[in-house]
Amino acid sequence: MNSWIDLSVIIDKNYKVFPGDKKIEFSDIASFEKDGYNIRQITTNMHVGTHLDVLKHVFEKGDSLESINISRFIGMAKVIKPNIIDNIVKTSSIKIENDEDISILILNLDWSKYLNTKKYYNYPKFQKSIINLLKEHCIKILGLDIPSPEYEGEHFLQMHRDLLSNDIYIIENLTNLDNLTNIVDFIGLPLKIKGMDGSMLRCVAKNH
């Protein structure tokens, strides 16, 4: 029986947040030595580590976290390692067959190896043609091992807007993608917190 592979990055005091974001803070509310039990508090936004973006992240009146259908985050996923030339992901190298019944696409850009370095935030950008490819094949979740999907030469949030307005959720900061075959079973469940624009995820996959 194949084992589940953890696709989530670890979050600790050394985790480097997106440039401009507030650093993660850890604090002890109670300790076993003093109180007989432990409570540790983390102060952060939900866009750290492996996480999900929903409509409310980039649209004033978009749906928030509690309204999403979690069944969309459990299922078969296609894993593709596209060509990257001059830091641009080539849409033509993302091959999805018409008879493949998948709605989750995971792109391995070989970028998680740079996590917690300055280079991690100089991630590859996409050609705008990718949105038509995703729509054509009815992709509903796009997972990536970079901190943010962006088009080449456009506003840094435009690709988010295009994806989310076409009902394609975004999962960022995946890892361990080299351990996956081209088809996997995928689970990546968000928290259920009302009014939130995103959620940390624990994503796992099992090879077929």
What's the pLDDT tens digit per position in 57-90?
999 888 888 988 999 999 999 999 999 999 999 9
pTM across the whole model: 0.94
User: pLDDT under 70 in the chain at which residues?
Assistant: 1-2
For residues 201 and 8, is the Cβ–Cβ distance under 8 A? yes
Joined tokens for residue 54? 């929903």
The count of structural domains within the chain is 1
Task: Specify burial of residue 112 (Cβ count, 10 A radius: 0-12, 13-18, 19+).
Answer: buried
CATH number at residue 109: 3.50.30.50
d(CA 104, CA 99): 14
Residues of the chain with pLDDT > 70, as a percent, come to 99
- For residue 89, the surrounding DSSP H or E stretch is strand 88-89
pLDDT for res 98: 82
pLDDT for res 158: 97
Domain around 40: 5-207
